[in-house]
Amino acid sequence: MSAEDDTGAASGTNGDQDTTHTARLLGVPLDLGANRRGVDMGPSAIRYADISAELDTAGVGCVDDGDLEVPRLETSSPASNADDSGAASNAKYLDEIGEVTATLADAVATTIDDGATPLVLGGDHAVAMGSMFGAGRHADDGIGVIWFDAHGDYNTPATSPSGNVHGMPLAAAHGRGSFADLDWADTDAVSEENTVLVGIRRLDEEERAALRESEATVFTMREIDERGITAVVEDALEIATDGVDGIHVSLDLDWLDPTVVPGVGTPVRGGVDYREAHAALELVAERDREADILRSMDVVEVNPILDRDNQTAEVAAELAASAFGKRIL
């Protein structure tokens, strides 16, 4: 693990890598937003994959703040009281997830104020609400978002077929539907114009319509097939960084093909391969070296129960290191 100098910059052990970040790990063992048990063990699995060593190899200081306390499924009620009109009643555990979102947002904002970069370890993708809201709290010009995922996560409580909140965080950040009435959900800091979804290959019907109507940019897997990962991610970075204070990168491991990452709860065939994923995150790091654009990141949906030999967690740790600057040469 690397130490910090007096300015807060990382002083990693690998002198060949840039030392522009100190990563602060924030574990959020949340599984209330998903439909399969086990994703709450994701932070532990990623730590077991030695993410701190991966970051150290990238020349990045690593401070582990441990896990946030989150409500457990066994003591929570799936019924939501967040909206007395009943509009949010289809969002399971919404009150409990709202509490986690508020707590995580505080931790992320504090981390940024301290001069470090929050690296949030999920847990299901509902944790991204807290990551984004915290990252945008003191951003005068807002933040951009790059969403690496197989899914759009653009449902609202009214449109979700399942009621699982891990399919709603982007819609929440944009104040869609009943999320506009929840103080902890909607945030002006995350604009649709600076939101880019990359590698999407499965959308619900109403979710598809909402994304078409929105000002968010969606690059599907077909565009990656036709144009290549480099061209697509370079375009995504241009859009996400335009006129903002920095970007939040959200990496759902089901973005990759399930042959590469078996330990995810909602696998979709036809995802990016191992090398494409690294190339994408390396491009994020390259832009960050040029313009200091990486404000925060989350790595989510690692489910050890479904995994083989911790393979998915290892890929998660490696990809996070690539985003923070690890490179071949």
Q: Which residues are catalytic?
A: 125, 149, 151, 153, 166, 252, 254, 301
Shortest CA distance to 31 belongs to which of 104, 96, 123, 97?
123
Give the burial string for 204-235 (b: 16+ CB within 10 Å, else e). beebeebbeebebbbbbbebbeeeebeebbeb
- CA dist 232 and 219 (Å) reads 7
First-to-last C-alpha distance (Å) of the chain: 21
Angle of helix 229-240 versus helix 274-291 axis, rounded to 10: 40
Cβ 242 vs Cβ 195: under 8 Å:
no
